[in-house]
Structure 1
Amino acid sequence: MMNNLFLIRPSKVLEREIWEYRQEYFDFGETQVNGSCGLAYHDNFDEWLNLVLSIEKDKLRNNVHTSTFFSIRKEDNKIIGSVKLHHLLTPDLENGAHIAYGIRPSERKKGYGKQQLLLVLDVARDMKIPKVMIACGKDNIASAKTALSCSGILTSEKIYEGAVHQHYWIDLRK
């Protein structure tokens, strides 16, 4: 499959596109924007952007640096998804995993989830992260299929906040 996406870090230049991306989730009745470092919970773009940039560089959340990206479709520069990568996994994050991702509702079921995950796995490899964990609700079939399509191995199921969550590991040393 040809990858027609690229990853970009959020910036002020993308404010209008990021807000449109966020709004689409709300328009589809969703209350969170997976992989966006809490975009749905912020009404002020600059505050959200400052948080995202500081968590990556110097301000730790849960004692971990986190990089946030948006996947952009090359042909029209449309934001297709969001993905965040925790640089390491701590006990506080064992239910949240290394990677969280989402695809905008109107672009789902088109193969973009796998493309986006493969791109962030390259980022993780460049950071010398040996393996990453992805967690998803057992009922989130699309996320599970995405993890499996990128060599994810289901290693456990745990109840977290009243729901069964599956944990997939991807070895990046191969």
Structure 2
Amino acid sequence: MATPGFRPTHVVPGRGMPAWETPDPARPTVPLDAYLPVQLVERRGDWGHILCANGWSAWVDGRFLVAVPQDPPTADDGPLARTADPRPLLARTERALTGYRSAVEDLAAGGLDGESFHGRTHGVRVGVVVDGESVWLYDAEHGRWVYADGTRLSTYATEDAPRAEADPGPAPTQVVTPDGP
């Protein structure tokens, strides 16, 4: 039975994910099934406090949750809020790919040997998937994949484990849906 007013904001990734009783890696609980709809109710650093349709809650690595598309805003909702601008990451990706291509051209033309090619390309990491208006970019600077819809970026997956403590930044945020927290 679903909790009254439950509206999922995210789903668990296709491989499932571990969950914890508290935002503490030493307190694991039952792992979550793949594609389970959840509602993100709070963030603390990388940790996300989620609520399931049956009322059960847990802490997860919030960076791995997959956002559920929301209904488009109405005129009464005001202007869309923008998050991170994708253009700087696109520019870094383009520079890295241009540098790699230049090294490949020099290697193919005989201007570089294998060792020099390795030296020029060592540490270069680029990842891009473009599908119509959607793009997934690898942000090597932050070790994460991000998703962009043309106007904003959001983290899709990251290489880091969740941190035990929140960053000493702003206070934790609470996600509020139209039906309340």
TM-score in same-fold range (> 0.5)? no
TM-score w.r.t. length of structure 1: 0.25
User: Which protein has greater RCO, CA pairs closer than 8 Å, 6+ apart?
Assistant: 2
Please say which structure displays the higher CA radius of gyration.
2
TM-score (norm 2): 0.24
Structure richer in helix, relative to its length: 1
